[in-house]
């Protein structure tokens, strides 16, 4: 197999949660371009289907709330039935609620944990038998630079993304003997809808730029190459890793 062939994903089946917008959109499109059959997951089925149609290839959209166990089990089973299995799982669905700890409610804190942590665990658990059966499995969890560093007024998000990185490491050890790799991608500031409040606040935007050695935010299409790499044969000896893609921010 040539080195370029190791980046091909022909006939591999991938699930991408939150695959209809932001970084998830770019990840889904990149996987399709690399040859994968992609199940695009969103809480709103119509948005997932519209996104999948735009990606072309063998993409299909599915509605699922990743915090609801029954919905998760049904979604994964349907994807496996429609495509003939599951080889790749990208746990991307997530939310961010910012604020000082004494201004946030318990419900807001729990909402972030439920989607960002419990959702990852539920979808991965549901996909487990299919990944094991594929003799290939790849799990890519989307963490954050806040998996390893911190910012003020981010207790819900930083707590959740730290948990995602530790879940990644634990599962990598659990599944290593089966040849399933489990890694985390840790993005820094990208121009997504989630980050609009920061981008629209000139002071905060400049403060973020001052932390990034490359001097800019990430472009959305810069995430796709890393996802395709981790999903393919080229990354077969990488597991339990948390890989930053942050313009050098965490190298300081």
Question: Among residues 55, 62, 136, 157, which one is catalytic?
Answer: 157
The 3-state DSSP class for residue 16 equals: strand
Estimate the crossing angle of helix 45-55 against helix 22-33, to 10 degrees.
Answer: 40
Say how many CA atoms lie within 13 Å of 200 toward its Cβ.
Answer: 6
And the tokens for 212? 């990034």
Q: What are the beta bridge partners of residue 88?
A: 14, 138
Distance CA 33, CA 147 (A): 29
Whether residue 228 contacts residue 238, with contact meaning beta carbons closer than 8 Å, is answered with no
- Asked if residue 149 lies in contact with residue 250, where contact means CB atoms within 8 angstroms, the answer is yes
Going 194 to 91 to 169 to 246, the CA torsion angle's sign is negative
Question: Residue 157 catalytic?
Answer: yes
The span from the CA of 10 to the CA of 146, in Å, is 33
Alpha-carbon distances of 141 from 71, 173, 242, rounded to whole Å: 20, 15, 9
**Residues contacting residue 197 through CB under 8 Å, at least 6 positions apart:** 98, 204
**H-run or E-run covering 27:** helix 22-33
Q: What are the tokens at 170? A: 């634990």
Active-site annotation, residues? 157
């Amino acid at each position: 197999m040539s080195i370029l062939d190791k980046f091909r994903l022909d006939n591999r089946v991938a699930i991408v949660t939150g695959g209809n917008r932001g970084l998830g959109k770019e990840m889904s499109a990149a996987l399709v371009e690399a040859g994968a059959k992609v199940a695009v997951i969103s809480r709103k089925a119509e948005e997932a289907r519209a996104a999948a149609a735009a990606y072309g290839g063998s993409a299909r959209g599915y509605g699922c709330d990743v915090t609801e166990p029954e919905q998760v089990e049904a979604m994964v089973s349907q994807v496996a039935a429609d495509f003939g299995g599951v080889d790749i799982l990208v746990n991307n669905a997530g939310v961010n609620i910012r604020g000082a700890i004494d201004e946030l409610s318990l419900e807001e804190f729990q909402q972030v944990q439920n989607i960002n942590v419990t959702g990852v665990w539920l979808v991965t658990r549901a996909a487990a038998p299919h990944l094991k059966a594929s003799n290939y499995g790849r799990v890519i969890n989307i963490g954050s630079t806040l998996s390893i560093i911190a910012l003020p007024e981010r207790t819900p998000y930083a707590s959740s993304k730290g948990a995602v990185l530790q879940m990644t490491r634990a599962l990598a050890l659990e599944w290593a003997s089966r040849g399933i790799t489990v890694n985390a991608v840790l993005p820094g500031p990208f121009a997504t809808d989630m980050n609009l409040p920061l981008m629209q606040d000139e002071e905060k935007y400049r403060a973020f730029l001052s932390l990034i050695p490359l001097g800019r935010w990430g472009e959305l299409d810069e995430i796709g190459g890393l996802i395709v790499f981790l999903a393919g044969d080229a990354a077969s000896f990488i597991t339990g890793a948390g890989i930053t893609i942050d313009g050098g921010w965490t190298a300081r």
